[in-house]
Amino acid sequence: MIGKLKGIIDSYGEDSVILDVGGVGYLVQCSARTMQALPGPGEAATMSIETHVREDHIKLYGFLSDMEREWFRLLQTVQGVGAKVALSVLNTLKPSELADAIATRDKAMVARAQGVGPKVAERIVTELKDKAPAYAALDPAVIQLSGALDEMRAPKPVADAVSALVNLGYGQPQAAAAIAAAARSAGEKAETAQLIRQGLRELSK
């Protein structure tokens, strides 16, 4: 199995590149985001590779980093997500953005990817929620609060404060982050109004 290729960019296709490695041209499928970041023809490039072997074909998928390749693999563990949909998600979201979206249960963010409807986005968020926090750049308190909100376990003042900020036009992850910070400084017995005021101060920083 091929896990990495280092060579010279020979040419570009619509959704692939040919990478010349020692005189052998490897056809590598890529997301548009990856292709835009690669150098021009004739220049050196190194790609992390995922090899798909089927009865009727062998396909190579190329990524700029091992982390992006790992997300490509993780996404395909979700029912209804194949290589095409996984590439579409990674074309729309950077690995860090995807990790944060899943960790905070932001289904709408995942559903922005072409070919990903609400049901598939729901499955991605649900089935990968235990894996995403390990990759997310968010404060663990934010992830925990978002999970509690999603599962209706958050204390009522906290849930109401997040809801109030969402109603003011802030996104769910942004509101959850602000209220998580507010709750940490205000204490467990803080009332909804106090959390909202503190949350707005956090958002204005």
Residue 16 and residue 52 in one domain = yes
For residue 58, the cross-strand partners are 53
Residue 59 and residue 74 in one domain = no
Residue 70 and residue 58 in one domain = no
Residue 84 and residue 58 in one domain = no
pLDDT score for 128: 87
pLDDT score for 205: 67
The type of residue at 10 is D
Token readout for 98 is 């995807």
pLDDT score for 138: 44
Residue 74 and residue 124 in one domain = yes
CA distances from 139 to 143, 162, 163 (A): 7, 16, 20
CATH code assigned at 125:
1.10.150.20
Residue 32 and residue 80 in one domain = no
Sign of CA dihedral 101, 3, 46, 113: negative
- φ/ψ (deg, to 5) at 54: -125, 170
CATH code assigned at 10:
2.40.50.140
How many domains does the chain divide into? Answer: 3
Domain range for 178 is 140-204
- Mean pLDDT, consecutive 10-residue stretches, the chain (205 aa), reads 91 93 95 89 94 87 88 90 93 84 83 91 87 51 48 68 83 75 77 86 76
Could you count the other beta carbons within 10 Å of the beta carbon of residue 163? 16
In sequence order, what DSSP letters do the residues of 4-59 get, joined into one string? EEEEEEEEE-SSEEEEEETTEEEEEE--HHHHHHS--TTSEEEEEEEEEE-SS-EE
Burial letters 140-154, b for 16+ CB under 10 A, else e: eebbbbbbbbbeeeb
Overall size of the chain counted in residues = 205
Residue 174 and residue 200 in one domain = yes
Bridging pattern class, strands 4-12 and 44-53:
antiparallel
Asked which of 18, 39, 63 is the last residue of a domain, the reply is: 63
pLDDT digits (tens, 9 = 90+) for 162-186: 888 888 887 766 777 778 778 877 7
Residue 10 and residue 35 in one domain = yes
Asked which of 14, 32, 63 is the last residue of a domain, the reply is: 63
Residue 126 and residue 155 in one domain = no
pLDDT score for 61: 95
pLDDT score for 154: 63
Residue 144 and residue 195 in one domain = yes
pLDDT score for 45: 94
pLDDT score for 147: 46
Residue 51 and residue 95 in one domain = no
Give the 3-state secondary structure of residue 26: strand
Residue 46 and residue 77 in one domain = no
Asked which of 47, 63, 79 is the last residue of a domain, the reply is: 63
